[in-house]
Amino acid sequence: MRVTLVPTCLLLVVPLVAQLSVQPTIVDRESGLAFPVTLTPPGSSTPHQITGTATRERTILRIKVYAYGLYIDAGAARTVFAAFAGKPAAALERDPMFFHSLLDMRVPMTLRLIMARDVAGEAIAEAFDDALTPRVGRVTRRQEASGALERFRSYFNLNELARGTDIVFSCSSDGRLNTTVDTKARPEIRSPELCRALFDVYLGDTPISTSGRRSLVRRFPALLAGQ
């Protein structure tokens, strides 16, 4: 999946205030939705840099559900992932050790989702349940997993997530998950297992989209080079 770097002022859908700040964005080609290159995640004052975007599609009709972007603490990443510096994106995309290193969660990371269509809150909650339950269950006791997942599911106690709804998940290196839904903060969940499972959905050995996993790290070489 290719992405294009453009100034926000060229995007007619972006509010005037954002246009005036000339915050550069990446436009996801599949969905047409824009992601800021820099994002300060909930629970942190350190900006994260985008490494790529992808689109979640369902059914053989390839219905676009949401676009998603991966962000990372660039300064910490340059130290932790120094061994991967200088490698092209094509090499990183094929390197399972690189993805395993990401999922060690030694560096704060953030996922930003933008709904591409109206979806019932219950449908999103069930989709995350299906993806997260087996992943969390593999690494923690059932009771602990149930409590963390129940709190996570409560984030989506909404009738509907309308097109354009913005969801941000951010995990610290010590396993604190902070979340906002349309900038409204949800209660923090302290669960390293849930943090790893959430990112494993997109970056693990069996991601929801193999092409999406590759696309999420396309800008990693530039980030490691300080560009």
Mean pLDDT of residues grouped by 10 in the chain (227 residues)? 43 41 84 95 95 89 92 96 96 96 96 96 92 80 73 90 96 96 94 95 95 96 91
Give yes or no for a contact between 212 and 99, defined as CB atoms under 8 angstroms apart: no
- Cα separation, 219 vs 221, in Å, equals 6
Amino acid identity at 54: A
**What per-residue string of b and e applies to 204-225 under the rule 16 or more CB within 10 Å gives b?**
beebbbeebbbbbbbbbbebbe
121-137 and 192-203 helices, crossing angle to 10°? 110
CATH of the domain at 205: 3.50.70.10
The whole-model pTM stands at 0.86
pLDDT score at 184: 94
pLDDT score at 147: 84
Structure tokens at 43: 């629970």
- Cα separation, 92 vs 77, in Å, equals 14
pLDDT score at 84: 96
pLDDT score at 140: 62
Q: Print the domain residue range for 19.
A: 3-224
Query: CA Rg, the chain, in Å?
Result: 17
pLDDT score at 12: 41
Give yes or no for a contact between 70 and 200, defined as CB atoms under 8 angstroms apart: no
Around 56, how many Cα atoms within 13 Å sit in the side-chain half-sphere?
A: 20
**What per-residue string of b and e applies to 93-109 under the rule 16 or more CB within 10 Å gives b?**
beeeebbebbbebebbb
How far is Cα of residue 154 from the mean position of the Cα atoms in its chain?
19
Q: What are phi and psi of 49, to 5 degrees?
A: -105, 145
Domain count along the chain: 1
- Cα separation, 68 vs 53, in Å, equals 6
pLDDT score at 37: 96
pLDDT score at 210: 94
pLDDT score at 208: 93
